[in-house]
């Protein structure tokens, strides 16, 4: 689940 | 944010600026694949949907907007600009992009982090970006004319993802539990797609001669 929230890269 | 990722983003931005300058300065897009530019526009649109609902940082938002605007500007130049659009070799740029889009979309439906519209589209953009350069590489093989600026554009576009690979290694070791298998695998495939080009590009650079691709 944490991967979905962390789209912090371009 | 780490230096590898910042270097990657700056290299990516620079590659787009180089292409825009080439088109604006020479009023020509000879040797540039419109199909690759359109695939990249699809990548950016499907990846940056979160512009509307989630704020990560000013940097993140500004860069996304720049990537979207430059992508559409390049496409506008190649399709609409009266002088530039005449230099686009439509007959050579014939890659069947559906053969890239459909498999990437099916794969995004099968392999993703979450079955939601935005997450599937985001995953689709990750897969599509890995193969988006193919029409451009095929066009180069066909036209043989790798002008300096186009060569530099492709080299930097490939380098940005290679820098991202380093960034992922760095984050894996410094951020406990950081995992992005989908992005890591796709980014590795993407970088491998460029290896052949990198080989000929570096060779030409070492021999200080104009880059030529094999017959």
H-helix or E-strand spanning residue B69 = helix B58-80
Angle subtended at Cα B98 by Cα B104 and Cα B87, rounded to the nearest 5 degrees: 120
Structural domains in chain B (count):
1
Nearest C-alpha of chain A: how many angstroms from B21? 23
Q: What is the DSSP letter of B43?
A: H
Strand intervals (E) in B109-201: none
The chain A residue lying nearest B56, using CA atoms, is A8
Contact B128, B31 (CB under 8 A): no
What ipTM describes this predicted complex? 0.89
Distance of CA B88 to the CA centre of its chain: 19
Chain B hits for A3, CB-CB cut-off 8 Å, are 113, 179-180
- Please give chain B's pLDDT, 215 residues, in tens: 999 999 999 999 999 999 999 999 999 999 999 999 999 999 999 999 999 999 999 999 999 999 999 999 999 999 999 999 999 999 999 999 999 999 999 999 999 999 999 999 999 999 999 999 999 999 999 998 789 999 999 999 999 999 999 999 999 999 998 999 999 999 999 999 999 999 999 999 999 888 888 86
Sign of CA dihedral B68, B71, B77, B80: negative
Domain that holds residue B24: 3-212
């Amino acid at each position: 689940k944490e991967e979905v929230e962390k789209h912090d890269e371009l | 944010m780490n230096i590898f990722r910042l270097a990657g983003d700056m290299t990516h931005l620079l590659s787009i600026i180089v292409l825009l300058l080439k088109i604006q300065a020479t009023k020509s897009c000879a040797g540039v694949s419109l199909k690759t530019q359109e695939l990249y526009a699809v990548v950016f649109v499907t990846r940056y949907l979160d512009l509307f609902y989630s704020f990560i940082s000013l940097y993140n938002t500004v860069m996304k907007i720049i990537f979207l605007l430059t992508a559409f500007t390049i496409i506008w130049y190649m399709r609409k600009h009266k002088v530039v659009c005449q230099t686009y070799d439509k007959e050579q740029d014939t890659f069947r992009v559906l053969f890239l889009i459909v498999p990437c979309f099916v794969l995004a439906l099968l392999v993703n982090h979450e079955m939601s519209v935005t997450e599937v589209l985001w995953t689709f953009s990750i897969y599509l970006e890995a193969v988006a350069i193919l029409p451009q590489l095929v066009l180069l093989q066909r036209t043989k004319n790798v002008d300096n600026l186009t060569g530099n554009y492709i080299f930097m576009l490939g380098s940005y993802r290679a820098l991202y690979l380093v960034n992922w290694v760095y984050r894996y070791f410094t951020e406990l539990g950081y995992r992005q298998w989908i992005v890591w695998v796709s980014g590795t495939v993407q970088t491998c797609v460029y290896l052949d080009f990198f080989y000929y590009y570096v060779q030409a650079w070492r021999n200080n001669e104009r880059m030529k691709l094999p017959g």
